[in-house]
């Protein structure tokens, strides 16, 4: 993509120099190019309009973060209040708790969830039986397709203090049943490890693809040099997938402040709130349950801006490190 | 790793140990992932008393279909199931069409202003208005409590547009466009009679991505649908599984509280199986498409 653009620019630059096109001539040329493919623009029209309404429309609506939005006055009719809601949020007693929970949950997810798919892919790659390999892939991808509601339903059933299988095991070995969902200290582990269980197979696909792309002559050369299987993983496979690993790791760091609300909302209860409340669930609760539209829009915007900045920084780092970058 | 097969003869002892360890690791992963699935399936066919007293640990105990009977008689679940099918089919068809309408023009090198339009789309991947402004917009447009609120906002899945665009760029050679143009083929016609027939794999990928997304989503329906008649399956599931709401009149014939509680658990297991059934049936067919989709998406990264 990027290369093409550069080429395009180069050729147009060269053309400009040689032909000394005036602005007018260029305009008419652009017109001609548009007219020749007018049908393509017609095709593009519906998607562009949809994105303009449903993606850029809410961005216009973001101004309510700086207003006291009252539905009957409309977005334009509500009074401007500047940064009031942002200041209120930063000064609120929930602020540190929300930021803390958001960061620890995503860091925990990253530390637990990032290496496991890589290890799984490396192990699958070494598997000598194709049938067994296929079976493992098939089974481990499957949980990805389970809906969040069903996933949380399974968690609640398995961890139930009265009838859940985990507590029956605990009792079998003489322990006392634990009401996992009522204990805030368990929340993050349950959230993260159920996520690992659900996602590890699917996340490994990309590494398996990267491993398949490694030049086989490298392995042949290593075999000739007497490298063991372990040494080949260490010196051929891991360096081979390192670019993929790096870009995914960087992308993960870029989204460290965004924890989704879908699963947490379902797992949340008044007993584990201290550890389960994150920015996105707070936005949902304040906005849609308590109808504090402006305040929660401000919290959401605060979060979105941080995410955007993080992503930009992370992308810059990626560019410095190598050729891989998001844009 | 085809070469390892050929070199079996000169496997050293070290390699044998390595293979054994590797196989053990993979078996562990397999059991760890499969066990909860098997357990839920078995529990859904077992006597609830056996489940809550820990007798069920792998296979069903005191086989029963009671849970499924109740589930199939429950009007909310049945209606939710058909609502979900309706939303999934309608939403997927619309989204696939619109995604292709966005991706195809952007795949053409000769499109003037391609960079700007691509940026217009991709910017929304990194920044958005967020939950509340979107909710207000949907309300103001009068889409609240309609299925359009679930379909239109996500109609242009930008990530999928990029996947589809990459596919068009890599599989449809530029020569073909030129040949078509020489023969006086319009862009519309070219899309309909050349590009689409060549794009079955990507269409399958898109259908799968969108269909799974619709079938599994609960958040959109939860905030945008007020009318119980419109609820898709996942909302009904949420009420049963997470919020423990279940019509007790369905269990009128059960005498004691103990038994009612047991049956409520049984119903939960059964409903999990039922709701995952369409995916389980489709899964073997869609699996390879998903893998393909991830890989096409990765080319860009």
Number of H helices, E strands in chain B: 16, 0
Give the pLDDT of residue A327: 47
Domain contains A155:
yes
Half-sphere exposure of B107 (CA within 13 A, CB side): 26
Contact between chains at B4 and A128 (C-beta distance less than 8 A): yes
Residue B3 has pLDDT above 50, yes or no: no
Domain contains A14:
no
Domain contains A5:
no
Domain identity same for A210 and A100: yes
Domain identity same for A156 and A267: yes
Domain contains A233:
yes
Please tell me chain B's helix, strand, coil percentages from 3-state DSSP, rounded to the nearest 5. 75, 0, 25
B118-163 pLDDT, tens per residue? 999 989 988 888 899 999 999 999 999 999 999 999 888 888 898 8
Domain identity same for A71 and A157: no
Domain identity same for A237 and A248: yes
Domain contains A7:
no
A276-310 pLDDT, tens per residue? 899 999 999 998 888 899 999 999 999 999 988 98
Residues of chain A with pLDDT under 50: 1-4, 7, 327
The pair of structure tokens assigned to B155 is 């109609």
Domain identity same for A255 and A131: yes
Give the pLDDT of residue B255: 56
Q: What is the ipTM of this complex?
A: 0.86
The CATH number of residue A248's host domain is: 1.10.3720.10
Instruction: Choose the closest CB to A143 out of B33, B52, B111.
Output: B33
Comparing A174 with B256, the larger pLDDT belongs to A174
If you measure CA to CA, which chain A residue comes closest to B187?
Answer: A39
Report the domain count for chain A.
2
Q: Which chain A residues are Cβ-neighbours of B15 within 8 angstroms? A: 228-229
Domain identity same for A123 and A40: no
- Specify the pTM: 0.85
Domain contains A12:
no
Residue ranges of the domains in chain B? 3-72+247-300, 75-229
Q: Give me the torsion for CA of B200, B206, B209, B211, rounded to 10°.
A: -90
Domain identity same for A132 and A232: yes
Instruction: Choose the closest CB to A136 out of B26, B265, B287.
Output: B26
Give the pLDDT of residue B6: 44
Domain contains A305:
yes
Interface contacts A/B by beta carbons within 8 Å: 283
Domain contains A10:
no
Contact between chains at B130 and A304 (C-beta distance less than 8 A): yes
Domain identity same for A45 and A154: no
Q: Which chain A residues are Cβ-neighbours of B42 within 8 angstroms? A: none
Last residue of a domain, one of A66, A82, A98: A82
Of the pLDDT bands very low, low, confident and very high (cuts 50, 70, 90), residue B258 is low
- Yes or no: say if B133 and A62 are a contact pair by the CB < 8 Å rule: yes
If you measure CA to CA, which chain A residue comes closest to B50?
Answer: A163
What CATH architecture is B75-229? Orthogonal Bundle (1.10)
Domain identity same for A301 and A210: yes
Contact between chains at A163 and B51 (C-beta distance less than 8 A): yes
Q: Which chain B residues are Cβ-neighbours of A301 within 8 angstroms? A: 130
Reading phi first (left if > 0) and then psi (alpha if -120 to 50, else beta), residue A251 is in alpha
B26-41 pLDDT, tens per residue? 999 999 999 999 999 9
| Helix, coil or strand: residue A80 | strand
Q: Give how far B177 is from chain A: nearest CA, Å.
A: 12
Domain identity same for A149 and A242: yes
Domain that holds residue A29: 23-82
- Of B130, B211, B299, which to mutate for an interface test with A (greatest number of A Cβ within 10 Å)? B130
Domain identity same for A169 and A141: yes
Contact between chains at A54 and B57 (C-beta distance less than 8 A): no
């Amino acid at each position: 993509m990027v290369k093409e653009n550069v080429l395009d620019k180069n050729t147009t630059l060269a053309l400009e120099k040689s032909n000394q096109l005036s602005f007018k001539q260029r305009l008419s040329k652009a017109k001609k190019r548009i007219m020749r493919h007018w049908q393509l623009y017609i095709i593009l029209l519906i998607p562009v309009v949809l994105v303009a309404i449903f993606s850029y429309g809410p961005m216009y609506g973001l101004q309510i973060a700086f207003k006291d939005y009252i539905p009957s006055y409309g977005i334009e009719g509500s009074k401007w209040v500047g940064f009031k809601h942002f200041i209120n949020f930063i000064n609120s007693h929930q602020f540190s708790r929300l930021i803390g929970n958001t960061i620890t949950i995503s860091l925990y997810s990253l530390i637990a969830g990032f290496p496991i798919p890589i290890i799984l892919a490396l192990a699958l790659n070494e598997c000598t039986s194709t049938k067994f390999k296929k079976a493992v892939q098939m089974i481990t991808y499957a949980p990805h397709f389970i809906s969040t509601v069903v996933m949380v339903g399974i968690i609640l059933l398995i961890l139930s203090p009265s009838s859940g299988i985990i507590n029956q095991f605990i009792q079998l070995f003489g322990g006392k049943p634990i009401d996992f969902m009522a204990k805030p200290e368990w929340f993050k582990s349950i959230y993260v490890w159920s996520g690992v269980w659900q996602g590890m197979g699917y996340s490994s696909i990309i590494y398996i693809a990267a491993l398949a792309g490694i030049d086989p002559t490298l392995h042949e050369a290593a075999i000739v040099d007497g490298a063991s299987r372990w040494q080949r993983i260490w010196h051929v496979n891991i360096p081979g997938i390192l670019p993929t690993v790096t870009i995914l790791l960087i992308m993960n760091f870029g989204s460290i402040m965004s924890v989704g609300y879908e699963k947490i909302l379902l797992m949340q209860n008044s007993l584990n709130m201290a550890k389960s409340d994150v920015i996105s669930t707070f936005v949902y609760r304040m906005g849609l349950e308590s109808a504090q539209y402006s305040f929660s829009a401000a919290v959401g915007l605060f979060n979105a801006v941080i995410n955007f900045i993080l992503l930009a920084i992370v992308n810059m780092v990626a560019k410095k490190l190598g050729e891989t970058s998001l844009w | 790793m085809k070469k390892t097969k050929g070199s079996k003869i000169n496997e050293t002892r070290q390699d044998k140990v390595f293979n054994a360890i590797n196989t053990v690791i993979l078996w562990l992963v397999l059991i760890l992932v499969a066990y909860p699935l098997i357990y839920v399936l078995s529990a859904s066919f077992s006597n609830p008393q056996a489940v809550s007293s820990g007798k069920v640990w792998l296979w069903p105990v005191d086989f029963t279909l009671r849970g499924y009977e109740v589930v199939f008689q429950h009007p909310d679940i049945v209606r939710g199931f058909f609502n979900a099918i309706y939303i999934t089919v309608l939403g997927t068809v619309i989204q696939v069409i619109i995604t292709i309408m966005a991706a195809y023009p952007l795949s053409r090198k000769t499109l003037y202003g391609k960079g700007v339009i691509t940026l217009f789309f991709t910017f929304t991947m990194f920044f958005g208005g967020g939950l509340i402004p979107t909710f207000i917009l949907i309300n103001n447009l009068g889409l609240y409590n309609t299925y359009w609120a679930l379909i239109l906002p996500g109609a242009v899945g930008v990530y999928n547009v990029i996947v589809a665009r990459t596919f068009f760029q890599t599989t449809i050679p530029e020569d073909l466009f030129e040949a078509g143009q020489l023969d006086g083929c319009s862009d519309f016609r070219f899309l309909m009679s050349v590009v689409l027939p060549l794009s079955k794999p990507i269409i399958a990928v898109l259908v799968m991505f969108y269909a799974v997304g619709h079938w599994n989503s609960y958040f959109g329906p939860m905030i945008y649908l007020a009318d119980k008649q419109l609820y898709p399956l996942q909302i009904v599931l949420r009420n049963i599984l997470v919020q423990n709401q279940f019509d007790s009149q369905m269990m009128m014939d059960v005498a004691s509280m103990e038994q009612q509680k047991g049956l409520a658990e049984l119903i939960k297991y059964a409903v999990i199986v039922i709701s995952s059934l369409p995916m389980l049936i489709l899964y073997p067919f869609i699996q390879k498409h998903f893998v393909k989709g991830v890989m096409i998406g990765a080319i860009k990264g």
